[in-house]
Amino acid sequence: MSLRDLYQEIIVDHGREPRNFGKLMNANHCQAGHNPLCGDKLMLYVLERDGIVEEARFEGVGCAISVASASLMIEAIKGKSIVEVEQLFDLFHHLVTEGRESDVNIGKLAVFGGVVEFPVRVKCATLAWHTLKAALTNNTQPVTTE
């Protein structure tokens, strides 16, 4: 397992220059996520219409893995239906905790395949996804990884 397998170019790139970063004024789902152990924090904004994620943005601070995960997640979910987003959540979760890619193509998200070798970093990779899940179920409590 090399460090490059964990820190693939795409992760380093999105970690340093996250896409879809900032507030989304017309969001109809807002959700805070927090990893109290390491202090990673994010605020996720989602605009959902007729069961489709039309737009999403985020802001926050964190390590390369958590920031890149939020950035790439938003790229992946835009235009997807809530059902598709839930499927992606399961696939992503499986990827970083079990390490096996299923037959389903998850696109760029596959770059997180190295995380499984670093169990303490799994929470970094999944924070954005847990926050998203809570946002879509309109959970008003801040999400924590604990």
Spatial separation of the C-alpha atoms in residues 81 and 4, rounded to whole Å: 33
Structure tokens at 123: 């929470």
Determine contact, residues 83/56, Cβ cutoff 8 Å. Answer: no
Minimum distance from CB of 69 to another protein (Å)?
Answer: 13
Minimum distance from CB of 84 to another protein (Å)?
Answer: 31
Spatial separation of the C-alpha atoms in residues 84 and 100, rounded to whole Å: 19
Q: Closest CB to another protein among 8 and 31?
A: 8
Q: Which residues bind another protein (CB under 8 A)?
A: 3-4, 6-7, 12, 15-16, 37-39, 61-65, 118, 121, 124
Q: Closest CB to another protein among 48 and 66?
A: 66
Minimum distance from CB of 35 to another protein (Å)?
Answer: 10
Handedness of CA 54, 58, 64, 69 (dihedral sign): negative
